Amino acid sequence: MSDDFSGLGLSTKVTDAVSAAGYTKPTEIQAQAIPHLLNKKDLIGIAQTGTGKTASFVLPMLTLLENGRARARMPRTLILEPTRELAAQVAENFEKYGKNHRITMALIIGGVSFEDQNKKLDRGVDVLIATPGRLLDQIDRGKIMLNGVEILVIDEADRMLDMGFIDDIEKICSRLPPRRQTMLFSATMDGQIEKLTKKFLKDPVHVQVSRTASTADTIDQKLVKVSSKPEDKRSSLRDLIRGAEGLTNAIIFCNRKRDVATLARSLERHGFSAGALHGDMDQKSRTETLDAFKNNRLTLLVASDVAARGLDIPAVSHVFNFDVPVHAEDYVHRIGRTGRAGRLGVAYTLVAPADSKHLEAILKLIQKPIDWLEAPAVAVPEETAEERPARPTRTRRGGARTRPAAAKETVQTEEAALQEVAEKPLEETPQPSKRSQRQRSRRPLETTENDSSESSNSPFGNDGPIPAFLLRPVRIAS
């Protein structure tokens, strides 16, 4: 493996840009992949997240693109990314490492004006970075022709499959010229990925720098037992954050998008600097939140798995899994947001009683034990009154309703009174209630011949003749 970038065969323009960015030694995936890519070989790159996969294809692409020029609506290279954030991050890499080049680039993602994208496409671009859905939209509109593509990159291939993009990828690849160089990068390798490589790659070189689905040794992983109640989990999370040593910033992952917004609001109410990031947010809000987190204007980023793949924020000190991920592979990508580029990181996973099945799958995947951390004492959640205002207790017809603890003494008093009434003899039964009197007042003045004087004094109201067995005298024991 080369000790520096100059020995990999990259152009002088590229190595100068890399040096200016402060990098001197290539990572393992970069040292192994770049020479093959410069020789225009198809390649499958398998490496754990945070090992520099993006630069391993950006740097050789810049060298290969120094000769030639783009034509209108016919990009020379195509990079497919599963999410907008990943696509934007790759674009940042091209801007950083391509500052000595006159290479044009377009970012084709959802949530951005078609008009701005069309202007760049009409002028011609060397590098087209796109998400599959928006790319197909532009192809259907006749704005992009792919028959001039020389290099194809399928990045985060396993995530593409998880998100259901396999059909879109097949449609896109069917429009590409057969003679092209194809690169596929992924953090995990399974049967579906192998089928994909056999279909779209020709005699690829395999580069794997770590065991499939492994976690970085720079990450200190801990499990924390918590209650299943949302308010208790939030309380435990706050205690963990307050007690975390060396926390500068952190990403907190939830499984559901609606929980992301709820948790972010809860943390803000308790004095934390927090923001939310999930797929239902518009692109402008997502970009602003991510920028605020990168620039340290936000300390905590509460996110769904849209932020779990490929976001390059090197200084993240902690990751908190508020929910155990349903898919074991997502655990690897989530905690991979910390401990990047040789830095140390800490990852906490909150485990409720119902999470045992998902936890077993994670331990089986990563093939290493994770220590349990004693859960911090869960105080009575202060947010209960704020987030779930108390509602007045109502009595349902036909059944009792559980009363709040504050009314326990009142309930006991009422039950004692009822017991006392139940033990009294029938002769001491109280007179009819006001409701019975109102019912009687609404009855017509005429009475039937079965009505008797006893009925007007009946504790059962005057809704009809009293059954004969109720008129029998009661013998009271002395």
Q: Do domains 5-208 and 219-381 have the same CATH topology?
A: yes
Report the Cα 109 to chain-centroid distance in Å. 20
Question: Is the distance from CB of 333 to CB of 311 less than 8 angstroms?
Answer: no
Task: Kindly report the number of other CB atoms within 10 A of residue 181's CB atom.
Answer: 21
CATH superfamily for domain 5-208: P-loop containing nucleotide triphosphate hydrolases (3.40.50.300)
* Radius of gyration from C-alpha coordinates of the chain: 34
Report the chain's mean pLDDT, rounded to a whole number. Answer: 81
User: What pLDDT, on the 0 to 100 scale, is given for residue 302?
Assistant: 96
Give the predicted TM-score (pTM) of the model: 0.61
Query: What is the spatial distance between Cα 362 and Cα 171, in angstroms, rounded to a whole number?
Result: 33
Task: Determine the residue type at 122.
Answer: D
User: What pLDDT, on the 0 to 100 scale, is given for residue 467?
Assistant: 67
Q: Could you tell me which residues come within 8 angstroms of residue 340 by beta carbon, excluding any fewer than 6 positions away?
A: 50, 216, 312, 313, 314, 316
52-67 as b/e: b if 16+ CB within 10 A: bbbbbbbbbbbbbbee
Report the Cα 34 to chain-centroid distance in Å. 33
Instruction: Reply yes or no on whether the pLDDT at 383 is more than 90.
Output: no
Spatial strand order of the sheet with 219-225 comes to 274-277, 300-303, 250-253, 318-321, 345-351, 219-225, 371-373
Residue-wise pLDDT for 406-435, tens only, equals 444 443 443 443 344 334 443 444 454 544
Query: Which residues face 251 on adjacent strands?
Result: 301, 319
Query: What is the spatial distance between Cα 49 and Cα 52, in angstroms, rounded to a whole number?
Result: 8
User: What pLDDT, on the 0 to 100 scale, is given for residue 49?
Assistant: 64
Class of domain 219-381: alpha beta
Average pLDDT over residues 33-49: 91
- How is the chain split into domains, by residue range? 5-208, 219-381
